[in-house]
Chains A and B, each alone.
Chain A
Amino acid sequence: GQQVMQIPQYQHVQEGEDFTTYCNSSTTLSNIQWYKQRPGGHPVFLIQLVKSGEVKKQKRLTFQFGEAKKNSSLHITATQTTDVGTYFCAVGNSGYALNFGKGTSLLVTP
């Protein structure tokens, strides 16, 4: 199945600062999904990107899919303590199970 590399592995920010995590693939992706896992919780679906160059927003979260469909990013504007958790990207074709990146753990200090 398809694989993705996710960076950074960890990020520690002050509340109010911005945060970005990136997913990169060596192959063209059919789509990419993003999940959030709160500490002690389970991963929860955030969004799916399908189209080349697609940009979607959810309040302070902005998701982008690269023009070549080989990379994606999740950007959080003005982080809050509620943003703490691990963010995963996941990729896979419809005939295969999703493969997850290793995740970016975000810590937000008040």
Chain B
Amino acid sequence: DADVTQTPRNRITKTGKRIMLECSQTKGHDRMYWYRQDPGLGLRLIYYSFDVKDINKGEISDGYSVSRQAQAKFSLSLESAIPNQTALYFCATSDFAGNTIYFGEGSWLTVV
């Protein structure tokens, strides 16, 4: 089983709809992240959380919100999806030192 699990793995949604991407991890890490990947733009940080009570905006947080429900769970929401949010989304975790980031398999989101 994967250490970092993302659901759903693929989703097509309509403009204006609310969509949630869920992430859970079994590594016991405190730190969790959401990244977005677009061709030619690399991995861009959306939000990150260093513990259950800590939430921080990343480089591209506009249009997104997150919830850290537990140490092992970190969800990403698009309150009103728009087409330019079509991308591959990765959840990731790391230990306190942040020395290595472990990524989930990714969630493909298409907004039509």
Residues of A within 8 A of B (CB): 6, 9, 33, 35, 41-45, 48, 88, 90, 92, 94, 97-103
Contact = CB atoms under 8 A, between A and B. Distances in A.
A97 B103 contact: no
Size bin of chain B's contact surface: 20 to 34
A97 B45 contact: yes
Contacts of A102: 40-42
Contacts of A44: 103
A98 B105 CA distance: 18
Contacts of A99: 45, 59
Interface of B: 31, 33, 35, 40-45, 48, 56, 58-59, 90, 94, 97-106
B42 A48 contact: no
B90 A42 contact: yes
A88 B105 CA distance: 17
B104 A42 contact: yes
Q: Is the interface of B mostly helix, strand, loop or mixed?
A: strand
B98 A92 contact: yes
9 contacts: A33-B100, A43-B90, A45-B101, A48-B100, A88-B43, A97-B98, A98-B33, A100-B43, A101-B42
A90 B99 CA distance: 11
B38 to A, nearest CB: 10
A89 to B, nearest CB: 10
Contacts of A35: 101
A45 B40 contact: no
A43 B103 contact: yes
Contacts of B105: 41-42
A98 B98 contact: yes
A33 B101 CA distance: 10
Contacts of A98: 33, 45, 94, 98, 101
Count chain B CB atoms within 10 A of each CB in A92, A97, A100, A102 and give the residue with the most: A97
A9 B40 contact: yes
